[in-house]
A and B are shown apart, each in its own frame.
Chain A
Amino acid sequence: MTTAPVEIEEPSIDESHLESRGWNVIVWDDPVNLMSYVVYVFRRLFGFTEAKATRKMLEVHNAGKSIVVTAPREKAELDCHRLHHYGLWATMEEA
């Protein structure tokens, strides 16, 4: 189905605020989760290579946090939820 084209007057909208860069999922350092476990979780959940997972884990460990995912909000929330299921300290932040 289709409709014949109709000329309409486009309302003028300031769309600059719609340019979302998505949402970051941040993993924070905690003193309890094992380094080997955190590497495993990053690989298992996000398919990171061993090198990338290790780099991200060390960033969490040394800098206190790391952005592990940047995605549209719904996807980022799902990943945040999966990290919580695995016991990692993860929060959301607008990118």
Chain B
Amino acid sequence: MRRPFRVHRDGVAVRLSEVERQFLLGLPYLLESVDGAPDDPAHQRLHVAAYPDDPAAQAEMTEYSGSQLAEARATDRSRFSAALEAEQSVLSPEEAESWLTVLGDTRLALAARLGIEEPGWEVADEEDPERITLGFLSYLQDQLVTVLMGRL
């Protein structure tokens, strides 16, 4: 079976079908739609409170690190999009790391919107297109983790 990611001396080799590439190009847009929707359960999942029981400490931490998190995510998404648009066949280690977090954030966002709160969801209702999407992203992330783990 053709694997999407492989070890490469400069980072990670990536091989996607055109359908897969087009599909992945949409992920940053999905994540952007989450950014502007504070009531979206996906937004809540991607903005975890470090101090859930201490609003003052939480407000202070958000002030200091909230924009850093937003900037880090923006960098990840633009690296992800740029590599896909250029149809890159090799990702640098930094790009691969950004792919990992974009795939991960999208999984978390989709799962939050689906209301997944318990384990065992992987096998539930495999006909549901959103769950099929989630399963495909899980596969990609796991494949990328396997390759990156080998580089540690």
A residues touching B (Cβ–Cβ < 8 Å)? 31-34, 36-37, 39-40, 43-44, 77, 80-81, 84-87, 89-92
Contacts and interface: CB of A to CB of B under 8 A. Distances in A.
Contacts of A90: 48, 50
B117 interface: yes
Interface in B46-81: 46, 48-52, 57, 61, 64-65, 68-69, 72-73
B61 A77 contact: yes
9 contacts: A34-B138, A37-B145, A77-B65, A81-B65, A85-B69, A86-B100, A87-B104, A87-B105, A91-B50
A80 B116 CA distance: 24
B50 A77 contact: yes
Interface string B103-115: 0110110010000
Contact of A86 (B50, B51, B101, B152): B101
Contact of B152 (A32, A37, A43, A80): A43
Contacts of A44: 97, 148, 152
B73 A33 contact: no
B86 interface: no
Contact of A34 (B49, B51, B142): B142
Given A81-B69, A85-B69, A91 B52 contact: yes
A43 B72 CA distance: 20
A89 B50 CA distance: 9
A74 B89 CA distance: 40
A85 B101 contact: yes
Nearest to B112: A32
Contact of A91 (B49, B72, B141, B146): B49
Contact of B111 (A32, A37, A77): A32
B145 A31 contact: no
A27 to B, nearest CB: 10
A31 B61 CA distance: 26
